[in-house]
């Protein structure tokens, strides 16, 4: 009786070991474990890129805010100082409209760049492609900021030209 039980137990243990091994072997290969060398190396690079890229986005946002504040102050000046003297700039509405349009364009592209950055990680399918998207969007942001700045310059120049020297 005891011999039979021991034999059965041995058979079951062998079966259990075999079945567990089969299940483990059939399981899909997981992503690199967070503590593995490859993953740690990837995360270190991603962290460095993220820090640098966040600074670039931050700088673009600061520039966007700066141009906006100069445009706003120039408009205040026009309304309170120039118009009150009975002087108007013929193209003022068009200039203001252009500033608003260029601002919206720059903001939209910068949003896209921020979104690219948020999706950039070792877990994303293709981090290199994601980073390339960010690069393209930052290049577009630079171009959009230049255009936005030019539209603010046009507005300030327009007001400046109409402003009497006595002011």
Tell me whether residue 90 or residue 167 sits nearer to another protein (CB atom): 167
Nearest distance in Å: CB 64, another protein: 7
Q: Cβ 97 to another protein, closest distance in Å?
A: 19
Cα-Cα-Cα-Cα torsion 120, 124, 129, 135, nearest 10 degrees, comes to: -10
- CB of residue 93 to another protein, shortest distance in Å: 19
CB closer to another protein out of 33 and 97:
33
DSSP track, 5-68:
HHHHHHHHHHHHHHHHHHHHHHSPPPPPPTTSHHHHHHHHHHHHHHHHHHHHHHHHHHHHHHHH
Nearer to another protein, 92 or 134 (CB): 134
**Cβ closest to another protein, residue 83 vs residue 153:** 153
Specify the residue, 15 or 94, whose C-beta has the smaller distance to another protein: 15
Q: Cβ-count burial of 27 within 10 angstroms (0-12 exposed, 13-18 middle, 19+ buried)?
A: exposed
Compute CA 100 distance to the chain's CA centroid, rounded to the nearest angstrom: 22
Distances (CA, A) of 24 to 18, 36, 87, 89, 95: 10, 19, 82, 77, 68
The distance between the two most distant Cα atoms of the chain, rounded to a whole number of Å, is 117
CB of 57 to another protein, least distance (A): 7
Least distance CB 84 / another protein (angstroms) = 12
Report yes or no: 130 and 124 within 8 Å, Cβ to Cβ: yes
């Amino acid at each position: 009786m005891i011999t039979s039980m021991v034999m059965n137990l041995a058979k079951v243990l062998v079966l259990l070991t075999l079945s567990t091994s089969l299940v483990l072997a059939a399981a899909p290969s997981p992503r690199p474990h967070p503590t593995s060398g490859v993953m740690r190396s990837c995360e270190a690079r991603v962290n460095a890129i993220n820090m640098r890229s966040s600074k670039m986005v931050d700088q673009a946002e600061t520039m966007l805010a700066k141009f906006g504040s100069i445009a706003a102050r120039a408009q205040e000046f026009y309304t309170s100082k120039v118009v009150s003297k009975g002087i108007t700039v013929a193209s003022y509405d068009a200039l203001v409209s252009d500033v608003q349009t260029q601002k919206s364009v720059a903001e939209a592209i910068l949003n896209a760049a921020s979104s690219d950055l948020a999706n950039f990680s070792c877990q994303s399918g293709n981090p290199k492609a994601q980073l390339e998207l960010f690069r393209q969007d930052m290049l577009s942001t630079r171009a959009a900021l230049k255009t936005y700045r030019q539209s603010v310059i046009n507005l300030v120049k327009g007001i400046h030209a109409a402003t009497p020297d006595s002011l």
